[in-house]
Chains A and B, each alone.
Chain A
Amino acid sequence: MDGKLDFYFALRKQKTIMKDVYYQPPLKASRGLYVDNPNDITVYLMESSGGLVAGDTNAYSVLLDKGTHVTLHPQAATKVYPAYNGNPSRQQVQIELGEQASLTWKREEVIPFAESEFHSHTTVNMKKNSRFYWEEILYPGREKRGERFTFDKCHTQLEVWMEDDCLVYDSLRFEPSHQDVKHFGVMGDYYYIASVWLIDKEIELDVEKWNHSSADHQISITRLRDAGYLVRFLSNDLPRIKKEMDQLGNQKLAVSV
């Protein structure tokens, strides 16, 4: 199945509204909710099929007009089923941010099952004064069933362009049967990779706080060249990743308010 979800957010009397939405099952959007404040609209992204089966493609297109503030919240993790027919599952996300617009994409979680193949590509075009926050967690498989890097391929790519400048070009291509995934320079004994991208020219974080390492959880932060930070995790402690991601989300709010 090919799911589709297209959004257009605009301002009406200084309030961000979902001016237009088009969807094609299994993708669907919730109504717009005003959770934190009336200037920030939150929309839940729903997927009714329960996961991507070989050959499925989900495509998202998100357009934010000048001055709009939007939070998109995937309702559940993306489960990727085995590619028995040899066709990979795909997800495409295209985001356009207008002047002074900000978009937060909450925790995009991907669980590639054994023998699955998944390709996701997210492209963001933004302005110098717009802001973009992206969180993602990649699982090694259904770990409760003992699946750890038993998928065939899992490729994710995030690219962010600020006019002609490339701010982020991060590809993670895992093909465990051909790679030395267990080496400490790759995953070592960790199972989860998580990333928080905060693309915001004004944000300042306490870097010491987001840099620590223990046997089952590592987190580190780096400044991106032109704007903001990447906070990256390698961990076996999923609840802790989620807790720290939420703390980072709060920091972002504290700065942007």
Chain B
Amino acid sequence: MPTITYHHLDGSVDEIDVVPGTSVMRGAVAGGIAGIVGECGGQAICATCHVYVRPEYLAALPPLSEDEEEMLEETAAPRDPERSRLGCQLKTGPRLEKIVVDVPAEQ
């Protein structure tokens, strides 16, 4: 079962097991993990599920779409050119059994 780990600014950590296909956004919203909103329901159009992906997981991620690229310019917290992604676009599964992200200060 895939796991998603969320690191918060206050040092606390949430680690959750999810069924394959669960996105980083959906896991957080369904699991009540603070700091991720997912206002649009996972359509990459609201930029409220912004996360910083830990470097060791970047290679396993799907490439940025043009739309995600545009939305990442609208995030409330500063964009990290390497690590910023929208959580709704990162789905766990065979290619992403484990992922660790840092939750930004605001959405």
Answer yes or no: do A and B interact: no
A residues near B (Cβ < 8 Å) are: none
